[in-house]
């Protein structure tokens, strides 16, 4: 089964509008002839600016989170309706920083996943273990739980709008990367979990990205693995000269 590589940049809490517009324009220019699927996910305050720059290009607009309610008295939150209004197509949910820094649990993430899918968004559902969980031999247990709970109640008809991103927490922003073999083992396991939940056909089609200190010099080796279908890139996505070689890697 051939799956198209999906290369995404999560800009996290960085940049002002001028910086974001410049980076977005550089990416539009340099990825125009790219053969993979592309996405950038700026901060909420940058979405309108970046949306205007990438409109009509081959780069999708992503948001880094959304509220679990459609609208109402939720001070400081951003709703799916507001994101749709800005042209957002994809929402990243369950990122390890949301789980571990902001204490979002599986139930809350699942509520957000279902709300985003209901409103027609593509969802990138992030999963991954802490270092202590890996050392305790709980990698599969943690990744299975986060996958199963994250997708609980999601109908098979919506799975074409779901992407999984495996991000071992100990490799995010640390410079440490899971070896291609380590990452492949988890990706293959998660694909088996999807097969159990939704069947082999869906499992063979679902995109599973890897995230965690992806760089130009390891992207091709990671992407060469059978079950790794792209990358969710953090720090290296903030500069054109570090993101472009990742985004345009040759398989």
* Residues identified as active-site: 95, 167
Q: For residue 110, what are its two tokens?
A: 């699942």
What letter does residue 157 receive in the DSSP assignment?
G
Q: Using DSSP, state whether 25 is helix, strand or coil.
A: helix
How far the first Cα of the chain sits from its last, in Å, is 15
Q: How far apart are CA 122 and CA 232, in angstroms?
A: 14
Q: Which H/E stretch holds residue 162?
A: strand 162-166
Find where tokens 């088996």 sit: 192
Q: For residue 98, what are its two tokens?
A: 């949301």
Residue 185, judged by CB atoms within 10 A of its CB (0-12, 13-18, 19+), counts as: middle
Q: Which of 158, 152, 153, 106 is nearest to 127 (CA)?
A: 106
105 in the Ramachandran plot: left (φ > 0), alpha (ψ -120 to 50) or beta? beta
Please compute Rg for the chain using Cα positions: 17
């Amino acid at each position: 089964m051939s799956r198209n590589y999906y290369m995404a940049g999560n800009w996290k809490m960085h940049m002002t509008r001028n910086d974001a517009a410049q980076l977005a324009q550089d990416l539009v220019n340099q990825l125009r002839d790219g053969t993979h699927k592309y996405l950038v996910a700026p901060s909420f305050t940058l979405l309108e600016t970046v949306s205007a720059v990438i409109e009509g290009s081959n780069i999708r607009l992503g948001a880094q989170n959304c509220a679990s309610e459609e609208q109402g008295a939720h001070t400081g939150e951003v709703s799916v309706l507001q994101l749709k209004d800005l042209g957002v197509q994809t929402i990243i949910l369950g990122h390890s920083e949301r789980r571990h820094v902001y204490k979002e649990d599986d139930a809350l993430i699942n509520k957000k996943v279902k709300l985003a899918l209901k409103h027609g968004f593509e969802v990138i559902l992030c999963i991954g273990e802490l270092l202590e969980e890996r050392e305790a031999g709980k990698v599969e247990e943690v990744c299975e739980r986060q996958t199963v709970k994250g997708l609980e109640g999601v109908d098979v008809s919506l799975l074409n709008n779901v992407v999984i991103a495996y991000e071992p927490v100990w490799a995010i922003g640390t410079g440490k990367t899971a070896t291609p073999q380590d990452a492949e083992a988890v990706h293959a396991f998660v694909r088996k979990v999807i097969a159990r939940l939704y069947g082999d056909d869906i499992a063979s089609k679902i995109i599973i990205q890897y995230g965690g200190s992806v760089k130009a010099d390891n992207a091709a080796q990671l992407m060469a693995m059978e079950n790794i279908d792209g990358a969710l890139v953090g720090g290296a996505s903030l500069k054109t000269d570090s993101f472009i070689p990742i985004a345009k890697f040759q398989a």
